Amino acid sequence: MGGSSNARGALTLTTRLYRTAVWTVTALLCLPHATVAQTRSPLERWILVYAGGAKRPPYNIDDLLHLLAVVDTGGRPVSWLCSGTLFLEFKADSGRFYIPVGNGAPSTGHDWEVYLDSIFAPGGPIARLDSASGVMVGRVGPPDRRVELAIMVPYPDPRADTLRFRGRMFAMHSDASRAAAAAAFMGEVIQRFGASRPKHVSLTAFYWLYEGITPVDTGLVPRVAREVHSKGLRFLWIPSWGAGGAERWKSFGFDAAWQQPNYFFRPEVPATRLDSALSRARAAGMGLELEFDPRLFSSWLFADRLDPYLSALESAPDLRTKPIAIYEGAGALIRLSRSRDAWHRALYERLVTVLRAE
């Protein structure tokens, strides 16, 4: 076991040194500079932002800047990278969950309110996002449209008998009442967003948080979609690998959906999963989610698992022109963009080139 691990480590190091040399040369040729591409490409790129409640480490303005922007080695933004942010959270401060997770208790209406209080707090995540967007406008020029914001819709869980939200009681045993609970939440989001008067961010979408559609939800989700569309907004979804209903996402009323490969997180899954993900995305007319997290920096098991995503997208120019969602585990992209390590810097620059479809 130990000898096998050492051999793998030596191979990984050799591979990394070779790729670093190749990618560094490529990046010098391809990375946009401050004098080039001052406005954002019309490509749609959504970054997932986990900022809800008091138990998450807060994103500061500079963190959010490193999610929105391509940054140089000095940390200076040189062009736009992401066109939108998707705010979501899975676990409430109470320990309850916004989606079904094993035996975890479902979130309550109070949890929903606490989440909204946290993201809309004065100086909170959405205010900081607006500030970061303003910094970008000042440094590299305005984008072709304001930074887009999508906010999650917590799952109205039928395991609970009722849900009380903003003084109203909703029964969880009927599609109509569950959809009404979701509509009340979305109405509160719209009201609070309008009251916050952001200068550089637009609320353009809601995101269905539950990553699969079970039989109990086939009537619910289209109702929620109609509520979203009645408010003039888009409805987004990122189903997990093998999730029920994924290939029929359009029939449920979603306006955009992304296929999760779920490759990065499980070392036993072979890289051929990415080929399958591309095929599924194409067949269903979906985009692709790009996935990595901070284990990229801490474990040799994960050090090379971002590479197959980039290789897959490099081989798929059709999917690079479609919307892409980016899951980076609440901080991995920020850390990658700030790294002074040659390997990680080259990986970041390759990631930028892929996302910009260059």
Structure token pair of residue 57: 């480490």
In the chain the beta strands, taken as DSSP E runs, fall at 45-50, 69-71, 77-80, 84-88, 147-153, 162-165, 168-171, 201-208, 234-237, 256-259, 287-291, 324-327
Q: Are 189 and 119 in contact (CB under 8 A)?
A: no
User: Which residue do the tokens 């690079």 mark?
Assistant: 320
Q: Give the helix/strand (H/E) hosting 231.
A: none
| Three-class SS state of 341 | coil
pLDDT digits (tens, 9 = 90+) for 319-340: 999 999 999 999 999 999 999 9
Q: CA–CA separation, 120 vs 118, rounded Å?
A: 6
Structure token pair of residue 206: 């809601």
Antiparallel, parallel or unpaired: β 234-237 and 256-259: parallel
Provide the pLDDT for residue 52: 84
Measure Cα distances from 118 to 51, 65, 90, 145 in Å: 8, 20, 14, 26
Structure token pair of residue 19: 């790729």
Torsion sign across C-alpha atoms 237, 287, 303, 262 = positive
User: Which residue do the tokens 């029964």 mark?
Assistant: 171
Quickly count: other Cβ atoms within 10 Å of residue 31's Cβ: 21
Q: What single DSSP character describes residue 17? A: H
The length of the chain, given as a count of residues: 358
- Bridge-partner residues for 106, per DSSP? 97
Provide the pLDDT for residue 236: 98
Q: CA–CA separation, 155 vs 106, rounded Å?
A: 9
Q: Are 100 and 157 in contact (CB under 8 A)?
A: yes
Q: Give the helix/strand (H/E) hosting 151.
A: strand 147-153
Q: CA–CA separation, 250 vs 213, rounded Å?
A: 12
Provide the whole-model pTM.
0.88
Q: Are 311 and 351 in contact (CB under 8 A)?
A: no
Q: Which residues contact 35 (CB under 8 A, 6 or more apart)?
A: none
**Domain residue limits, the chain:** 38-355
pLDDT digits (tens, 9 = 90+) for 86-108: 999 999 999 999 999 999 999 99
Out of 3.40.50.2000, 3.20.20.80, 3.90.1150.10, 3.40.50.720, the CATH code matching 38-355 is 3.20.20.80
| Nearest residue to 172 (alpha-carbon basis) of 163, 164, 180 | 163
Q: Are 293 and 336 in contact (CB under 8 A)?
A: no
For residue 51, which phi and psi values (nearest 5 degrees)?
A: -140, 90
Quickly count: other Cβ atoms within 10 Å of residue 338's Cβ: 16
- Bridge-partner residues for 84, per DSSP? 46, 148
Q: CA–CA separation, 62 vs 54, rounded Å?
A: 19
Q: CA–CA separation, 41 vs 320, rounded Å?
A: 12
> Which residues of the chain register pLDDT less than 70?
1-42
